[in-house]
Structures are given as C-alpha cells and as structure tokens.
Chains A and B, each alone.
Chain A
Amino acid sequence: MSSLRELQAGFRAALLAGDERGVAPDVVDDGVNASARLAVYRHHVLTSLSAALEATFPVVCRLVDRRFFGWLADSYVRAHPPAGPCLFEYGADLPEFIAAFPACAPLPWLADVARLEWAMNVALHAPDAVPLEPEALRTLPPATLARLTLRLDPSVTLLASRWPVDAIWDANQAGVDPAPRVDLDAGGVWLEIRRRDGDVVRRALPRAVFAFRAALAEGRALEEAVESALDADPAFDLAGEIRALLDERLVC
C-alpha cells in the first residue's frame, strides 16, 4: 500500500508517462482491469487538455490539421502538464515546443504563428488595468523622465517575426474563401497585440516604434528605449510617440 503522496505520484506517471507500476497494484480489479480503469482517467486528461490547446491555438491546428495537432498536443501535455488550473494560462511554451518538435521542422513559421495566437490569448485574458493619466508625465522634470520606466498595459505583446504571420493568420480564418495566397518571402513583421475596449486588436508597427515599445515592455528606461528606436530610424519622433502611448492608453 502506498502513502497518499506516493499514490498520487504513481497516478501521474500512469496518466502522463503510461507507467502504471506505481498505482495499478493498488487498484481493485473486479471485472474491468486496472489498465482499462486508468485509461478512463488518462483519456479525459489528455483530450481535455488537448481541446484547451486547440481553443487557444486554432490557426496552428488548422495549419497542421486536427490529427497532427492531436499528436503534437498529446506530446506537449505529457512533457509540459499545466502548472495551474486556469486553462487560459496553459500553453505559454507551446511555441518553443513546436520550434523544437522535429515533425514541425518543414514549417519553420509555425512557431511564430503560435506566438501570435498566444499573444492574442494573453490579450483576451490579461488583468484589467487602469491607464496612466497624461498629467502624470507632464509634471516630471526632464532628467527624471529619461530614467523613467513605463509599465505597459498587461494585455500588450510586441511580437517580431521574420515571417508574415499576420497574413498567415488572416488567411486561415473561417469564412475566408478562397484563402488568399500568402507570400512567405514577403519579409518580417513587427506586431503589437493588445486588448482595447474588450476586443483583441492587432496592428503592424513601424520598426522604430516597435523597437521603442518593445524596449519599454522589457522594462528598460525611457532613454534606452529611445536609443533602440533611433537605431531603427534616426527620424524617430519621440514627442509624438509619447503622446501616442498616452492617447492609446498603453501605459498604466
């Protein structure tokens, strides 16, 4: 007989790794054997988590088809079970898993499509935040301003990709018929994904604006963010961009 702690570890191994040795001896076998009984639980765990991933990554699923996605998700669930019970938070490292999944190698853009879908999921569920009032910045002396770090709205992701993942996503929506051809050599994109008034919105940013906002999102001070922006475009308009940040209620 196992302690409860041992039993639960053994149950986990039976569900995720198919190793029933730690739990099967403790299961009553009366007409239906222990493996068949454990399979009922395993089936639910794997299919429900796979369905949760499909709900978060519908375009990835469509691109590889449901059977392949089922295999991919099953492999991911076994290797990376959720760390907590809020399933809208599950799947953050699926893009990295896809990038390292040998069978996905022929689709080098797939991991970035997954990053875009994850960013949309984050945008949908991020905590509600109160945007910063423009007055708060106006009263600061310029020297302080340079060293300031600005907290962006928690729904925001800044996503750069060398692939046109926005066009790939758009071409794979239900009702888009016939699906437009996507030119994979069209070049990279610099995207901002966030929630605004309850809706998830995505837009492409100019490179310098992206560099500026991405630096802020990483927690870097304003003067460093400006340097990143000027590296991308010497004509970067700082005053206009600060106004835009506040007008777009991006800082909180």
Chain B
Amino acid sequence: MHPAGCGIGLRAPHVAEILATRPGIAWLEVHAENYMGGGPAVRSLERLRADYPLSVHGVGLSLGSAEGLDAAHLERLARLVERLQPALISEHLSWSVTGGAYLNHLLPLPYTEEALDVVCRNVTRAQERLGRRLLVENPSGYLRFRHSTIPEVEFLNALARRTGCGLLCDVNNVYVTCANLGGDAAAWLDALAPATVGELHLAGHAVNDADGRTILIDDHGSPVADAVWRLFEHALGRFGTTPTLIEWDTDVPQLAVLLAEAAKAGARLDEASDVVAA
C-alpha cells in the first residue's frame, strides 16, 4: 500500500484506540527507534500495518556524523525495514552522534562542501544497506555557521542529485528556519527541486524568547499555524499532491484532534488534485 492523502504520526497514547476503532486514516508514520525491541508495541504495529500504509521515520541514523554511520544501528534499521516493508523510509539532514554519544536532537550542520561529502557518503551507505531510497528531511534551524557556503535548499538539491535520495519537505521547519535565521519561506520552497519531493510534514511550533528576540521552536506541540497552512498550500501548488503527515509529539492531544488536523490537510490535498485534474 502506498501512502496518499494525509497521514498521522503514530503515538503510543493512540494505539489502543486506533486498534479498536480503525478510524479512516490515510497512512501511519512511526519513529523507527521505538520499534527496535520486542513486546507489545511491536505486536500492535504488526497488526496496524495490515490495515494502514506505513512510513518508517528514523530519528537516530545521524546522516551528518563526520565519524560515519553507526553500523550496528544501520543493521537494526535494515532488519526493521525488512520486517515492516514500509512504503516510505525517511531520515533527517542533521547529526546526533559524536564520539559514540547520541545527543537526542537533530543538530545543525554547516552547509559546506565537506559536510555535503559526509552526508552523501552516509546516505549512500544507508541506501545501499537498506536497498531502498531514503527521503531526507530539512531540519528546523536555530543557528547558522559562519563557514556555511551553500544555501540549505541548494545543499538538499545537491544531496538528492548526488545520491538519488528523495526529499521530505517539512513545511513547518521551512517556516521556523526562515523566521529564525532570515529568509523567505516561499522562495525556499520554490528553489527546491520539485521532482525529488516524496513527502511533506506539518506540525505546530512554539513562540519563545531568546536573548530578547522572538525565536520559533519546532516542538510539535500545538495545531499547525495559519501561516504554515498558507505555506502548505504554496507547497502543493509547486509539488502537486504529495503524501502529507501531521506530527504531534509534546502535549499529545486526543486522537480526534489529530484526525481533524489531518482532515484539514486532506481537504487541501483534494483541492490540489482537482486543480491538476482540471
């Protein structure tokens, strides 16, 4: 089954309700690292995948690590992918591992030729082991490095060109990064190579204060902001209908709230496909 329409990120508090009521959700995305053991969580996912298309979203591969990928973790991901046979597999343009420590965050890369070589090498190795095309997601940014020479969107385009990977365009991350670091979010989307985009993400963000200035935090803890809905419509105009996901990770609400967000995205996807059909 291939994802179409708007899916939701599967979160532990909703699993029992989804199993019991089988609501009409277009597809489910799971964090790979939550399913690398055994037990009831894995058992539940095995049951859900019979009824819903599945996407495996890794958060721990650390594609930007200068020291290369953790071979043992890549093996575990490969075994999970073999077992679940997901329609989509995605990871992030970021790093989390250095000196053998996992820092549990999608940390920023300098956008340099050196970093591009590192990420290309790691993505190629992952795709070779998985035997599958990865989608790589743009991160949310809170800082820039002085020695970055390549615009983020060009870095992603080059990565896709050199490795054959696809891109997961997180629309909220584009909005957050452009607000925090300067930049025009619509222009960012316009510069992304449209044929490479295989998935879109939507989520809420928080508005915080840092050093006396407003900073947006990609905390996945609220409804999608109005400005991000508008940017999503812009993205659909550019990329056409694309499998889209609602993510919610902090203060996870009732399932119904998540489904209502997915329905809002689904209505926009329908409109976009009508435009294409017309």
- Interface residue ranges, A against B (CB under 8 Å): 1, 3-5, 7-9, 11-12, 15-16, 25-28, 30-41, 44-45, 48-49, 52, 81-89, 124-129, 154-155, 195, 198
Contacts and interface: CB of A to CB of B under 8 A. Distances in A.
Nearest to A42: B105
Nearest to B115: A4
Contact of B143 (A8, A34, A52, A154): A34
A12 B99 contact: yes
B65 interface: yes
Contact of B39 (A8, A89, A195): A195
Interface string B208-223: 0011010101000000
Interface stretch (B66-74, B152-160, B191-199, B259-267): B66-74
A9 B211 CA distance: 25
A66 to B, nearest CB: 17
- Say what secondary structure dominates the interface of chain A: helix
Interface of B: 33-34, 36-43, 59-62, 64-67, 70, 72-73, 76, 95-105, 107-110, 112, 114-115, 118, 142-147, 182, 210-211, 213, 215, 217
Contacts, number: 143
B110 A26 contact: yes
Nearest to B147: A1
11 contacts: A4-B112, A7-B110, A8-B67, A8-B107, A32-B211, A45-B104, A48-B104, A49-B104, A85-B62, A88-B37, A198-B39
A25 to B, nearest CB: 8
A26 B61 CA distance: 25
A242 to B, nearest CB: 26
B107 A11 contact: yes
Closest 9 CB pairs of A and B: A85-B60, A125-B37, A36-B211, A128-B38, A5-B66, A37-B143, A8-B98, A81-B101, A4-B66
A86 B66 contact: no
Contacts of B70: 84
